[in-house]
Structure 1
Amino acid sequence: MKALMKYRCWLFFAVVFTLPMYMRLNNGLLLIFILVSLFDIIFISKKISLKNLLVNGWPIVGFFMLSAMAAFHNGDVNNFRYLETHWSLLFVPLVMLSEKNFYAKIRRTTFISLVWGCLAALAICYLNLIMKIISEGESLQNWFAWHHMGHDFTFITDAHPTYLGLFVVTSILFLIQDKKFPQVSKYILLIIFLFGLFQLASKMAILLLVLFFLYLAINNIRQYKQQLILLIFGILFSAFVFWTFGNQYMKSRMFSVDEILDEKRIDRWEVSYQIFKENPFYGAGFEKIKGIRKEKYLHGDYSLAAANDLNAHNQFLEYLSVNGAVGGFVYAISLGFLFLLSIYRRDHLFTFIFFAFALANLTESMMVRIMGVEYFAIFASLFLCSKGSDCANNRQSIRRDDIMLSAKKMDKI
């Protein structure tokens, strides 16, 4: 029993570690983890809990139900292939919520696994970048050239820059609030991650970091004074290096108002909204959505979007077009519930994680790609397994100590 639990634990950490890179490897590890876990909790420990899955895990399972509804929209039972990306929304919370206490205990180690995974992914990307610069005889001034940033930077790890940027921001959030991580190692990692965000050229990730900085400055300036100084230094230094050595094209992409507003993206959102208006209740479903969207892209002269089969690049609009009003309602109520519950629990780390996820979904359909689906399934389940933040637990511990001290004084009297 103990050996199997230890094996499962390491499998789980390996899944989180590989989340920022190499999708096939990560998916293989996730499949093994789920199969081993299901075998254990059903046949050995017999801890399977469908009640926990339905009562506590509905904000996650609800998204799987939307996927099933979209897959079998036309009643064709052969459409199981459309669920390939979404199975983790059912099985990950089933496994984790069946053993809530166990996963609550390894919460911190789970985040550490993501930290090292992000570091490994960036290290592989930077090693590949250095080798390309050397092999092609380029100057180091081309470090921030367009062909060394964004998708070209992360291609070697099979990662999307926006998703990797979100994982890096999550790692930064964890490192800043974690008090047990060695200080020197923490500061080195923070500098690497901050510099990496500019190499990823993810405007959303940098925006999230700035918002987090403002949050710390307003609410916890005394508690996180050193981290705030490091954040300011890291952001300014990375921005200075990028502005000095980056080419004009990448500067305009990162800092231009036109690029930030991106009228073409907003016009494409109108296409998804039109599809919703034509299918207001249950949406178009998985089987028809690509064809309908491509036709409207071509009609609206969005040839590049049509050629690349671009999705809505806005998760709310994605659910509206695929699942109709039902999808939009489930998306809003599920994320809203998780966000408000994290505030109620005073779990500040997850409050910002859910906020960051929702904000990133404004420009990305993160629940379409398996990397985003798996990230949400794992960390939303981890949150639901937790009983509250360390800060909240510490406050409760302090209150208990005060009560015990008062009781002792009363006994003496």
Structure 2
Amino acid sequence: MIETNSRIGVITLLVILLIYVFKKTSIKLFVLLISLLVVIGFLSIKFDYLGTKFKKIISPDGQVSIERVERWREIVYAFKEKDSLWLGVGSGDARLVYRRAYYNGGFDLALKKNYNAHNQFLEFFVCNGLLGLIVYIFVLFLFIKLTKLQEGALHFFVIITMFSLSESFLGRSQGVMVFSFFYSFFMLFFKPINHLKHAE
């Protein structure tokens, strides 16, 4: 999921490293993190693609503008205007909502390239309504409750949450496979620990 040309992939990697460093609080790890930040910064400048993506967020006059947030607002507005709030429009008709939103908002590139919502929470809301969104949030809270975000479960949760905020990864088979495998793995891995604690 963490691609070298993805801003959220780099940001997620840094967040996980910071969590790891704060848990371990070691000077070696701190030096390693700083070195990694320098390497990522160098690669961003050298290969320019990632650097260009980050530069799009901040204009030359210092204004922060994230086009995705503007697109999300337009999608919510277009959805609320005509569609079922509780059950959504279904995954087949979601593209029509996005196209309507991109057309109304003047997002020509998004319209031309037929972009999805680029937000898993919003994707569930449009496709499955409030009911689908509540179910997805419940699945995430269930994961927190049963794993108590121990060890690798915390890292997985950070990755899933951050990617859910900027990608619609469960619309692809690879995303479903990775999510299903690791979600099940961590739930089963920490289940015996939880049972032992209850037994005591």
Does the Cα contact within 8 Å between 2:99 and 2:111 map onto a contact in 1? yes
**Structure 1 pair 386–362 and aligned structure 2 pair: CA distance change class (3 A):** same
> For 2:110 and 2:56, how far apart are their aligned partners in 1?
22
**Structure 1 pair 232–340 and aligned structure 2 pair: CA distance change class (3 A):** farther
Is residue 303 from structure 1 mapped to residue 103 from structure 2 by the alignment? no
- Structure 1 unaligned spans of 5+: 1-162, 166-199, 397-413
Query: What is the aligned-residue identity percentage?
Result: 24
1:251 maps to 51
CA-to-aligned-CA distance 1:240-278 (integer Å, 9 cap, x gap): 3543x344x65242356428x653211210233124423
> For 2:132 and 2:28, how far apart are their aligned partners in 1?
43
2:89 maps to 284
- Bigger relative CO (Cα 8 Å, ≥ 6 apart): 1
**Structure 1 pair 262–318 and aligned structure 2 pair: CA distance change class (3 A):** farther
Structure 1 length-normalised TM = 0.42
Structure 2 counterpart of 1:231, from 24, 33, 42: 33
**Structure 1 pair 339–272 and aligned structure 2 pair: CA distance change class (3 A):** farther
Shift of 1:206: 1.7
CA-to-aligned-CA distance 1:334-365 (integer Å, 9 cap, x gap): 1122123222xx62211121122111111101
Structure 1 counterpart of 2:176, from 346, 359, 373: 373
Computing the radius of gyration from Cα coordinates, the structure with the larger value is 1
Describe the SS at the equivalent of 1:332: helix
Does the Cα contact within 8 Å between 1:319 and 1:328 map onto a contact in 2? yes
**Structure 1 pair 253–284 and aligned structure 2 pair: CA distance change class (3 A):** same
Structure 2 counterpart of 1:341, from 139, 142, 146: 146
1:268 maps to 71
Is residue 206 from structure 1 mapped to residue 7 from structure 2 by the alignment? no
**Structure 1 pair 218–296 and aligned structure 2 pair: CA distance change class (3 A):** closer
Structure 2 counterpart of 1:385, from 178, 188, 198: 188
> For 1:229 and 1:388, how far apart are their aligned partners in 2?
36
Is residue 313 from structure 1 mapped to residue 118 from structure 2 by the alignment? yes
**Structure 1 pair 272–257 and aligned structure 2 pair: CA distance change class (3 A):** closer
Shift of 1:388: 5.9
Does the Cα contact within 8 Å between 1:319 and 1:327 map onto a contact in 2? yes
> For 2:163 and 2:107, how far apart are their aligned partners in 1?
23
Does the Cα contact within 8 Å between 1:276 and 1:324 map onto a contact in 2? no
* RMSD over equivalenced CA pairs, Å: 2.8
Is residue 364 from structure 1 mapped to residue 164 from structure 2 by the alignment? no
CA-to-aligned-CA distance 1:270-306 (integer Å, 9 cap, x gap): 2331244232110011232222321332232222212
> For 1:287 and 1:373, how far apart are their aligned partners in 2?
17
- Structure 2 unaligned spans of 5+: none
> For 1:263 and 1:387, how far apart are their aligned partners in 2?
38
Describe the SS at the equivalent of 1:387: helix
> For 2:92 and 2:36, how far apart are their aligned partners in 1?
46
Shift of 1:331: 1.0
Superposed counterparts of 1:38-77, under 5 Å: none
> For 2:55 and 2:107, how far apart are their aligned partners in 1?
24
